[in-house]
Amino acid sequence: MLITSFELDKVMPAFIIANGAASFGMEVTLFFTLWGINALKEKSIYSGKNIKEKMITMMLPSHPKTTTISRLNMMGIGTGMMKSMMQENNIETLPDLMDLSIEMGSKLIACQMTMGMMGITTDEIRDGVEYGGVALYIEEASESGVTLTF
Amino acid sequence: MLITSFELDKVMPAFIIANGAASFGMEVTLFFTLWGINALKEKSIYSGKNIKEKMITMMLPSHPKTTTISRLNMMGIGTGMMKSMMQENNIETLPDLMDLSIEMGSKLIACQMTMGMMGITTDEIRDGVEYGGVALYIEEASESGVTLTF
Amino acid sequence: MLITSFELDKVMPAFIIANGAASFGMEVTLFFTLWGINALKEKSIYSGKNIKEKMITMMLPSHPKTTTISRLNMMGIGTGMMKSMMQENNIETLPDLMDLSIEMGSKLIACQMTMGMMGITTDEIRDGVEYGGVALYIEEASESGVTLTF
């Protein structure tokens, strides 16, 4: 799976499918690039970054639990409503789905080129994530029976 | 095919490719989840829903023919222009493409988890649609030679 | 690869993966449809178009170098910042990635139905691009080991 978005309604389906597939014994690799990297963040660090890197850090979510939806967000009202509807229906939260994914042995890979470009450091990324470039993605994709983009 | 969007310019390419593939004798399955569910709606029902479910029903299209485009919509002007350009070029409308898809034997599956979460009932969904969960999607995807996301 | 978007942050990952795959000796086909067609434009031509076609020409980018990002564009500030961050990290520009892709022998196909619908002529499209319909896409996809949508 290639994840280029960070929004709740893009990353959640990816992890729901990933965890479903893993539970059927399939090997799952998720490669996070561009905006997708932000889904892997655990915190935002500003020190040591240049002004552009600081600005981009400020404007993007610092943790999957602060991620909004891509439609009907309405200054956060829509996202809050969606999250409460998920909770009422016993759907796991995105951070829980991500923890479960790592526990089940799925490979989460952060794109090194994006990290370099946006000035994101490994200290900002959650534990259990691997690092790699486009070559690794292509290798994994070419060995996969199912390739999905989110 | 996994459809997570409801916009005209996401759902139409999905059905154009689906119908093309079906006409070549390929077996086609379209799984609609999250916002994608709205493409399968025939009408909106409000009675029996809680306030959050009513709000989400109100804000989302009640029929594929009222669906807008994701870019250049401009309060509906862009969508109207796009639809008239399609008509002038004899491109079938989305509802026609969907009817044709079901006639050709393609499988349209609505995600049960999304329906539960958004409070969408089977009475709101068009005829000819099947219902299933993520396990069914993964099974179908793992048997498919081509997997696409829209 | 199926490209239905024209934004920098959709088309760039497509070409980075395409060129990576081509460098590993994989055969790559990119099919551009709907908004994706705009990524292939070299210039905008207005003469001979009807009013709707002129309007759509005016509102869409006339060259990949004028393409914006889909998030944080902020009237062009975000796009400019992103481009300068790419340059500082020695990431090739989108036009360069596209030239390289054609040089490496990847097939770029423009969707004829979209061109007819939007009134885009072959004079507006860069050299080295082929033209085809959905049947050609389906044929290419069914022969591919990896199918991606952007």
pLDDT value, residue B138:
96
Cβ contacts of A43 within 8 Å, gap of 6 or more: A62, A63, A124
Distance of CA A42 to the CA centre of its chain: 11
Question: Residues B89, C117: contact at Cβ < 8 Å?
Answer: yes
- Chain C hits for B89, CB-CB cut-off 8 Å, are 113, 116-117
Q: For C126, left (φ over 0), alpha (ψ -120 to 50), or beta?
A: beta
As for the ipTM of the complex, it is 0.86
* B81-90 b/e (C-beta count within 10 Å ≥ 16 → b): bbbebbeeee
- Say which of B21, B71, B148 has its CB closest to residue C2: B148
Lowest-confidence pick of B85-99, B104-118, C15-29, C100-114 = B85-99
From CA B65, how far away is CA B35, in angstroms rounded? 15
Q: How confident is the model at residue C133 (pLDDT cuts 50, 70, 90)?
A: very high
Residues of chain B with pLDDT > 90, as a percent, come to 69
Q: How confident is the model at residue C130 (pLDDT cuts 50, 70, 90)?
A: very high
Return phi, psi of residue C29, to 5°.
-125, 130
Mean pLDDT of chain C: 92
pLDDT value, residue C75:
72
From CA C81, how far away is CA A118, in angstroms rounded? 10
Instruction: Give me B144's structure tokens.
Output: 């498919």
Chain-chain contact of C113 with B145 (C-beta, under 8 angstroms): no
Half-sphere exposure of B8 (CA within 13 A, CB side): 26
pLDDT value, residue B108:
98
Q: How confident is the model at residue C113 (pLDDT cuts 50, 70, 90)?
A: very high
Question: Residues B24, C138: contact at Cβ < 8 Å?
Answer: yes
Comparing alpha-carbon positions, the chain A residue that sits nearest to C80 is A52
From CA C66, how far away is CA C42, in angstroms rounded? 11
From CA B112, how far away is CA C47, in angstroms rounded? 51
pLDDT value, residue C84:
87
CB neighbours (10 Å) of residue C20? 19
Residue pLDDT tens, chain B, 150 long? 999 999 888 999 999 999 999 999 999 999 999 999 999 999 999 999 998 899 888 888 888 888 888 877 777 778 888 888 888 888 899 999 999 999 999 999 999 999 999 999 999 999 999 999 999 999 999 999 999 999
Question: Residues B126, B101: contact at Cβ < 8 Å?
Answer: no
Q: 3-class DSSP state for residue B59?
A: helix
- C36-76 pLDDT tens trace: 999 999 999 999 999 889 988 888 888 888 888 887 777 77
Chain-chain contact of A4 with C26 (C-beta, under 8 angstroms): no
* CATH hierarchy code of domain A2-142: 3.40.1260.10
Mutate to test the interface with A, among C26, C70, C71, C87 (most CBs of A within 10 A): C71
From CA A6, how far away is CA B16, in angstroms rounded? 28
Average pLDDT rounded to a whole number, residues A76-92: 85
- Chain A hits for C26, CB-CB cut-off 8 Å, are 138, 142
Chain-chain contact of B13 with C35 (C-beta, under 8 angstroms): no
- A21-32 pLDDT tens trace: 999 999 999 999
Comparing alpha-carbon positions, the chain C residue that sits nearest to A114 is C86
Q: Which positions in chain C have a beta carbon within 8 angstroms of at least one beta carbon in chain B?
A: 2, 4, 33-35, 52-53, 55-56, 59-60, 113, 116-119, 134-135, 137-138, 141-142, 144, 147, 149
Chains in contact with C, counting 3 or more C-beta pairs less than 8 Å apart as contact? A, B
Comparing alpha-carbon positions, the chain A residue that sits nearest to C71 is A35
Instruction: Give me B102's structure tokens.
Output: 């079901």
Statement: residue A76 has pLDDT above 80: no
pLDDT value, residue C29:
98
Q: How confident is the model at residue A82 (pLDDT cuts 50, 70, 90)?
A: confident
- Chain A hits for C79, CB-CB cut-off 8 Å, are none
- Say which of A59, A117, A138 has its CB closest to residue C17: A138
pLDDT value, residue B55:
86
- B94-104 pLDDT tens trace: 999 999 999 99
- Say which of B4, B35, B113 has its CB closest to residue A91: B113
Chain-chain contact of A145 with B149 (C-beta, under 8 angstroms): no
Q: Which long-range contacts (CB under 8 A, 24 or more apart) does A45-50 make?
A: A45/A121, A45/A123, A45/A124, A48/A121, A49/A119, A50/A119
Mutate to test the interface with C, among B73, B82, B86 (most CBs of C within 10 A): B82
Lowest-confidence pick of A51-55, A115-119, A128-132, C70-74 = C70-74
Chain-chain contact of A13 with B2 (C-beta, under 8 angstroms): yes
Statement: residue C31 has pLDDT above 80: yes
Chain-chain contact of B134 with A91 (C-beta, under 8 angstroms): no
The closest alpha carbon to A136, from C94, C144, C150, C20, belongs to C20
From CA C129, how far away is CA C107, in angstroms rounded? 7
- Between A and C, how many residue pairs show a Cβ–Cβ distance under 8 A? 59
Mean pLDDT of chain A: 92
Residues of chain C with pLDDT > 90, as a percent, come to 69
Query: pTM of the entire structure?
Result: 0.90
Instruction: Give me A15's structure tokens.
Output: 């992890």
- Chain C hits for B11, CB-CB cut-off 8 Å, are none
Chains in contact with A, counting 3 or more C-beta pairs less than 8 Å apart as contact? B, C
